Amino acid sequence: MARSDRPVAAVDIGGTKIIAAVFDGNGAMLSRIYCLTLAHEGPARVIKRLNQTIDRAIEKAGLQRSRVAGIGVAAAAIIDINRGLVTEAPNLPRWRNVPLPALISGEFNLPVYLLNDASAAALGEHRYGAGRGLNNLIYITVSTGIGGGIIIDGELYNGTDGCAAEIGHMVIMVDGPACNCGRRGCLESLASGTAIGRMAKERLAYGETSIMRALAGNVIEDVTSVTVARAARKGDMLALDVIRTAAGYLGIGLANLVNILNPQMIIIGGGVSSMGAMLLGPARKAIKAHAFKLPASTVRIVRPALGMDAGLSGAAEYARRKGRIAA
């Protein structure tokens, strides 16, 4: 069996969770393992946990390490694709110039291919999901942070260094709230799950009335975007207004992308996208209000077909393609 036809492993590492999986040569998932990132413990312990999760996924697939062709790594980080470095990761504390592929390869003695997690999700949805058959699309993940991936003329666009599509760090409000990246007013600081939770807590602290307080056990600091979504589904006016506000900012960011790239489709994934019409409805209205009429009427805004596994599928596909090139 050619190396490129053998199973590949993939791992998706974010600020909250690590998911590892093994895929066969046709892209079918053979196993899937999940664990918490526990990012506060620092890079060394997270990488050890990451390697253990990959190992468990290979074992669960009934394979020996030697049967795996390579490993694709999707990381929620700013990637130097040429040097194989995680240069910084806003939601992974103390990650600076971490040679992640080398650290994984040294453990498994396999080729390891690194890319941004949202770029991996874009590739996965383009190859296997909602974007099949399209030439130009954008994938955005809205969860703890906000990331993006871009497909142009049927190919993943990584940019010169691998840093393309850091959509979450598009500045929307120059004097806006602080972002984990160290800047202010980024889309991530205004429309991510973290931002939604922050806005809700701020308004509750000012004394506004909402069932969110009770849902969080009367501890305002325990309010998260999940709390906000639960309250909104019950018709809570404050929760609905917080979501509308975040969705409006998201729509402004999307309108900028529509005007710049004129995509056929924008796929919005990540945990926050599970809010569905509560989030996507106001975002679509903002696109119509802020983008040019022709590209705004062309673009379709959809949920991912692969759900939370888009990044895994894309990382596996990336490893498979890179393995063919290397072969």
Q: Rounded to two decimals, what is the model's pTM? A: 0.89
Question: Running along the chain, 327 residues long, what does each successive block of 10 average in pLDDT?
Answer: 75 92 93 94 94 97 94 92 90 91 95 94 96 96 91 94 91 93 94 96 95 95 96 97 96 96 95 90 92 96 92 95 69
pLDDT at 90: 78
Asked if the domains at 3-116+308-326 and 130-304 fall in one CATH topology, the answer is yes
Closest among 288, 262, 80 to 164, alpha carbons compared: 80
pLDDT at position 127? 94
Superfamily for domain range 130-304: ATPase, nucleotide binding domain (3.30.420.40)
**Residue 180: predicted pLDDT:** 85
Distance of alpha carbon 145 from alpha carbon 117, whole angstroms: 11
Please state the domain extents for the chain.
Answer: 3-116+308-326, 130-304
Structural domain 3-116+308-326, CATH architecture: 2-Layer Sandwich (3.30)
**Kind and range of the H or E element at 72?**
strand 71-75
- Residues with Cβ within 8 Å of 101's Cβ and at least 6 positions away in sequence, in order, are 73, 84, 112, 113, 114
Find out whether 89 and 78 touch, Cβ atoms under 8 Å.
yes
The maximal CA–CA distance of the chain, rounded, in angstroms, is 65
Residue that has been written with the tokens 């379709």 in this structure: 300
What is the C-alpha end-to-end distance of the chain, expressed in Å?
Answer: 13
Confidence (pLDDT) at 183: 92
